[in-house]
Structure formats: structure tokens, C-alpha cells
Amino acid sequence: MIDREPRALFAQAKEGSRTALARLVTYVESGGARQRESVALAYASAPPYVVGLTGPPGAGKSTLTDRLITTLLERGRVGATTIDQLGVLCVDPSSPFTGGAILGDRIRMQDHATNAAVFIRSMATRGHLGGLSLAVPDALRVLGAVGFPVALVETVGVGQMEVDIASAADTTVVVTNPGWGDAMQANKAGLLEVADLFVINKADRAGVRETRRDLEQMLDLGGARAWRPLIVETVAQTGQGTEALVEAVEAHQAYLASGELARARERRARAELDQVLALTLRARVTTLSGSEAYEAQVRALLAGTTDPYGAAEALLSR
Ligand SMILES: Nc1nc2c(ncn2[C@@H]2O[C@H](COP(=O)(O)OP(=O)(O)O)[C@@H](O)[C@H]2O)c(=O)[nH]1
Ligand SMILES: [Mg+2]
């Protein structure tokens, strides 16, 4: 019997119940009291190490994720982190329900779907407060709390939201293809900034050297920084380069271990708190503006007995 209460679900999920885990992820997606309770329980445990993959549709993210799952489980570790099970979130911000892109991803990862060591979950917008940009980090914390040491997040698309979600990872992998130089210019601001690693996937095609050169040039233009993103060539279809990608993840993880991981997580904690604060305040405004007290302030404004600032202060101090 699968429980409905978050606390019991966490206990079941820790014992290996994927149904219980799936229900917890549904709770954090859907909002409401169960979401609040699930999130509170999840944040009491350490987060997993998160590797995010982003890049344009068709770049090969899902195929590469599929390869990464195999390689990571075979190796059984990434850096100092032991991997006995792996959580994978496939995120599609543009889709209000489980749509075509994610269906394709699931088919590509189907071999792993029956593997007890792998939990694969699609997430799409459910329209609750904050939507996916909060639900994804919350779901990652749920994975951490039930014992997943490492999680992968694949986001579909290249909009700002996709970039935000993928870059909320400890290691962000931007997946490109040969000949992507021009598109890269267009996305420069968003993707260059968030990339810890670049993958030139479909390296079986022409133009790899030029793309690498373009990427190197853009990194040069970015000036000196503590971590210079590594560029890895892969052929996800055959698995070529997957080991090299895992080694690049390990190199970045080793760099983070010097204290940067804690600083990056602090930055993300602040950003998430800001986001929740803003959403909570906006929700409060919506509630207030439907209230009788609000109508009283409107009448006072029209009567000239208050001003908008005084009216707002009066409403907020209630
Ligand atoms: N030639 C070639 N095709 C690839 C490679 N990796 C993926 N593909 C193909 O590219 C298409 C899109 O891959 P998919 O993983 O769904 O891309 P996503 O949208 O980024 O998740 C599929 O038809 C894959 O078979 C590769 O390394 N070389
Ligand atoms: Mg995909």
C-alpha cells in the first residue's frame, strides 16, 4: 500500500519504493499543503550532486543522458561520490503536460526505465506558484533526501527558463553540435555564462574543429576566470566520448571541492529564497486586492483621505 502522507512516503521511498518517490515528486509539482510538507522534509537532508544538461532541441541531450546513465552506473562513482542509484529528471518548460519531446526522451531512455537503480521522471509545467523553476530544485532535494547521491537534469529548449533550470546544477553541461557557431552567437549571453562544460555532440559529423575553435574564442573573449569550461567531443549514438565527459565532470567537481561548491550553493539558496519571497508577496497582493479592507482603502483614496503609499502600508500592516 502506498501512503498519502509525505512522511510515510519518504520512508517508503528510502526503502526503494519508486511509486512513493514518484508521488512525492508529483506533490512538489502540484503545490498545496502536501507540497509544503514534502519540501520541508526534503530540505532536512543533503542535496544530491546535480549534473544539468541543456542545449537546443535535437542536440542529442537525451541520447547523451542515456549513455551517461550507463557509464555512471558502471563506474559506480563520480569523483569521491559513490553512485549506487541515479535520478534523472527530464524537464520541458514549454509543455503544460507530458508532451511529444519528453515522450521521445522516455523512449530513448526506456532501457533504463526498468532498471531498479534508475529513477527517470518527466516534469512539465503544472501552473502552480513558481512553476517548474521551483519544482525542479525541490524535486532534486526529494531525490537527495531519499538517498540518491547524484541526479541528472535534462531540459528541453534554450529559453531563459531552460537555462535557469539547467544552471541550477552543480555542473552544467551545454550540449552543442558541429556547425553551431552561429547559433552560439545568438545564445552567447545565456549559455556561455552558465556552462561549466561544453559538449560537441555528433562529433561524427563535419565541422567539429571549427566549432571547437569558435567555442575557445568565445571563452577567450570572456576573459580570465577561476574555472575555464572544458570542451568534450562525443558521439552519443555510439557512446564515444562518454568516459571523457564523466572525467570532465570529475575535473569540475574537483575544482568545486576547494570551496566553490559551498559558495555556489549559497548563491542558489539566496536566489531561491528571493524567488519564493517574491512569489509569496505577489500571492499576498492578489489576496489583499480582493479584500474588503482593500475596497475601504480605494474609497479613502478617492475621498482624498489617504495616498497610495499610506494605503499600501495600512494593508500590509494588517
Ligand atoms: N549523427 C549523430 N546523431 C546523433 C548523435 N547523438 C544523437 N543523435 C541523434 O540526434 C537526434 C536527437 O537526439 P536527442 O537525444 O533526442 O536530442 P535532444 O532533443 O537534445 O534530447 C536523434 O535522432 C539522435 O539519434 C550523434 O552523436 N551523432
Ligand atoms: Mg531530449
Confidence of residue 100 (pLDDT cuts 50, 70, 90): very low
Q: Does ligand 1 lie within 6 Å of residue 61's CB atom?
A: yes
Q: What does the mean pLDDT of the chain come to?
A: 88
**pLDDT tens per residue across span 251-308:** 999 999 999 999 999 999 998 899 889 988 988 999 999 899 999 999 999 999 999 9
Angstrom distance (rounded) from CA 93 to CA 293: 37
Residue labelled with grid coordinates 546544477 = 169
The number of beta carbons lying within 10 Å of the beta carbon of residue 144 is 21
Angstrom distance (rounded) from CA 62 to CA 60: 6
* Residues counted in the chain: 318
Contact 59, 176 (CB under 8 A): yes
Around ion ligand 2, which residues have CB less than 5 A away?
61-62, 105
Of all protein residues, the one whose alpha carbon is nearest to atom 17 of ligand 1 is 60
Residue labelled with grid coordinates 576573459 = 223
Contact 156, 55 (CB under 8 A): no
**pLDDT tens per residue across span 147-204:** 999 999 998 766 777 777 777 899 999 999 998 766 555 555 577 788 999 999 999 9
Q: Does ligand 1 lie within 6 Å of residue 60's CB atom?
A: yes
- What distance in angstroms lies between residue 58's CA and the mean position of ligand 1's atoms? 6
Residue labelled with grid coordinates 530544485 = 137
* Residue 110 clears pLDDT 70, i.e. is over it: no
Ligand with the closest atom to the CA of 106: 2
Contact 38, 128 (CB under 8 A): no
Q: Considering only CA atoms, which of 230, 253, 233 is closest in space to residue 242?
A: 233
Cα Rg of the chain, angstroms: 22
- 3-state SS, residue 302: helix
- What distance in angstroms lies between residue 61's CA and the mean position of ligand 2's atoms? 5
Q: Does ligand 1 lie within 6 Å of residue 67's CB atom?
A: no
pLDDT of 280 reads 87
Index of the ligand 1 atom closest to the CA of residue 55: 20
Q: Does ligand 1 lie within 6 Å of residue 235's CB atom?
A: yes
Count of H helices and E strands in the chain? 15, 9
Confidence of residue 60 (pLDDT cuts 50, 70, 90): very high
Ligand with the closest atom to the CA of 64: 1
Domains and CATH numbers, the chain: 46-258 (3.40.50.300), 273-316 (no CATH)
Contact 202, 178 (CB under 8 A): yes
- What distance in angstroms lies between residue 60's CA and the mean position of ligand 1's atoms? 4
Q: Does ligand 1 lie within 6 Å of residue 201's CB atom?
A: yes
